[in-house]
Structure 1
Amino acid sequence: MSALHKLMARIEQTEALDKVAQPVAGLVGRIVKPRPIRNILSGSYLGHPLHPLMTDLPIGAWTMATLLDTVGGRRAEPAADLLVTAGILTAAPTAWAGLNDWSDTQGGDRRVGIVHAAANATALVCFTASLVARRSGRRRVAKVIALGGFGLLMSGGYLGGHLSYSRGVNINHTAWREGPAEWTSVLAASELTDDMPQLVQVGDLSLVLYRSGGTLRALDSVCSHMGGPLDEGTVDDGCVTCPWHGSTFRLADGSVVRGPASSEQPAYETRVREGHIEVRRR
């Protein structure tokens, strides 16, 4: 195991971080609870998480500012100052999108996330202090502070990459789940209770069936957000809500009604033939 992987494992196992992470996550969860806020910060309107898109703004701005500070000379100073300012202005919405996603994590992922947030918050403090120094004419001090902020930014970026690519936080949990292309029998129609979600198996795939007023619907049973069991969720007004984090999907087509999910839930065509419910992917 590499030194960096050992460091990540140590952070994941440091339970002392929970003393800070748990109350902060609880506070964030309450703030982002309203549906419009949740949908915007989760990227539900985009079709994928908002946070990765937003990170390009402060990271790009501060990286280019650091480059210009290092090799740009006097003529590049106004551009470097503008980039530092742009990074500061875009850092807050980027952080809120990330906090929204992080508030749903648990255990080691939550611990790595709080360190990730701390590194990026400290980087923001550094670049803000650098901007103050630039405006007061202390250019050399400003460059040193910004360079320190850039180091923290890269550290935070590594932690974020670990969460996304090594831990799979906030990926689409249905991305590799694909049901049958041909009509396939899954259950006798008489075995499905009306107005009650029911789990069925189609080979290695699990689906949730729901019938109400003669209308039959089928969705992948694994919530695209973090893999929650939709068959254990509640159904209201033609939508099913995941019991884990409250992601809500329309039964008719799997579209996201409420985040934190940002990817649509795979929906399946249904029919009843010779007394059996059959499904196939759309």
Structure 2
Amino acid sequence: MNLLDDAVSRLERWRALDGLAEPLRKAAHTLVRPRLVRNALSGIPTGHPLHAVLTDIPIGAWSMAALLDGKSMLAPDDRGFEPAADLLVAAGLAAAVPTAAAGLNDWSDTYGPTERVGLVHAAVNTVALGLYAASLAARRAGRRPAGRALAFAGLGVLSVGGYLGGHLTYSKGVKVSHTAYHEGPLTWEDVMAEGELEGNAPKLVQHGEIPLLVMRDGGRIVALDNTCTHAGGPLNEGTFKDGCVTCPWHGSQFRLADGAPMLGPATAPQPSYEARVRDGRIEVRAKK
């Protein structure tokens, strides 16, 4: 284990952070409770997590500002790069606001070690944001050397935040679809007897390595992957209403007819299968 891995491992075990996390989580859930807000910050309109997309904007803007600041330092008599550097710092600050909001939404549904790392990730990025705000203020006050120094410091702190963000995504799987490698049958395959379905009650069926949720919806039989794409919750233990299933873990809601996400935090659709009855047996296959 290298030094960075060891440091992150210590963060994951730092239980003192839990006392700070719980009130922040409650406040975040209150802020994102409206369906429109929850879905927008989760990324449902685009079909991809919003936070990961937005982070490219402030990181890109501030990185280019550092490049232009460096150029200005190498050629102090050429002040042509200064307005562009200032604009990029300001653009990064503006983009950081919705980026942070989307990140807060994602973090509010994490727990334990992931929650702790996410809290430090947010704190580090907040420090970076403060340094860039101070940099912009110094630039506008004519104190350009101080403005550049603050921006370089901000970029260094931002790099730490980026490392932690990468750990959350690639090591902890935050906002990664938990059905990414679930591949259903391409041809019709028998999964259960039709008589095993009782009214509109959900039935959990194991087909190979894939758990399937099979039930009647509006007179027809539907089949979804039972593993919630958001965090792996068991959909068969959720609630069913108005043609949708709500995950019992974090409240993600999917349409039974096609698995489309109707309420975040889930962004990826639930894998949905065609279903038919043949000789009293229910058969399913992946939708083409």
Q: TM-score band, normalised by the shorter chain? A: over 0.9
The equivalent position to 1:263 in structure 2, one of 247, 268, 272, is 268
User: What residue is the counterpart of 2:63 in the other structure?
Assistant: 63
**Which amino acid is 2:181 matched to?**
W
State the Cα distance separating 1:167 from its structure 2 match: 1.3
Structure 2: segments with no counterpart, 5+ residues: none
1:242 and 2:247 are equivalent in the alignment: yes
User: What residue is the counterpart of 2:277 in the other structure?
Assistant: 272
CA distance in 1, matches of 2:199, 2:35: 29
State the Cα distance separating 1:37 from its structure 2 match: 0.4
Deviations 1:83-110 (A, max 9, x none): 0000111111000000000100000000
Following superposition, which runs of at least 4 residues in structure 1 exceed 3 angstroms of deviation? none
CA distance in 1, matches of 2:219, 2:146: 72
User: What residue is the counterpart of 2:208 in the other structure?
Assistant: 203
User: What residue is the counterpart of 2:220 in the other structure?
Assistant: 215
State the Cα distance separating 1:204 from its structure 2 match: 1.2
Deviations 1:93-139 (A, max 9, x none): 00000000010000000000010001111111100001111011111
**TM-score, normalising length: structure 2:** 0.96
CA distance in 2, matches of 1:148, 1:268: 51
Written as runs of structure 1 = structure 2, the 5 A alignment for 1:84-99 is 84-99=89-104
Written as runs of structure 1 = structure 2, the 5 A alignment for 1:155-166 is 155-166=160-171
CA distance in 1, matches of 2:30, 2:21: 14
Deviations 1:197-233 (A, max 9, x none): 1110111111001114531100000001111111111
Q: Secondary structure at the match of 2:55?
A: helix
Q: Secondary structure at the match of 2:80?
A: helix
User: What residue is the counterpart of 1:6 in the other structure?
Assistant: 6
Q: Secondary structure at the match of 1:260?
A: coil
Structure 1: segments with no counterpart, 5+ residues: none
Work out the number of aligned pairs and report it: 282
State the Cα distance separating 1:195 from its structure 2 match: 1.5
The equivalent position to 2:238 in structure 1, one of 223, 228, 233, is 233
User: What residue is the counterpart of 1:21 in the other structure?
Assistant: 21
User: What residue is the counterpart of 1:119 in the other structure?
Assistant: 124
Asked if 2 retains the 8 angstrom alpha-carbon contact of 1:194 and 1:212, the reply is no
**Which amino acid is 2:51 matched to?**
H
Written as runs of structure 1 = structure 2, the 5 A alignment for 1:44-59 is 44-59=44-59
Q: Which moved more, 1:128-137 or 1:182-191?
A: 182-191
**Which amino acid is 2:80 matched to?**
R
Q: Percent of aligned pairs with the same residue?
A: 56
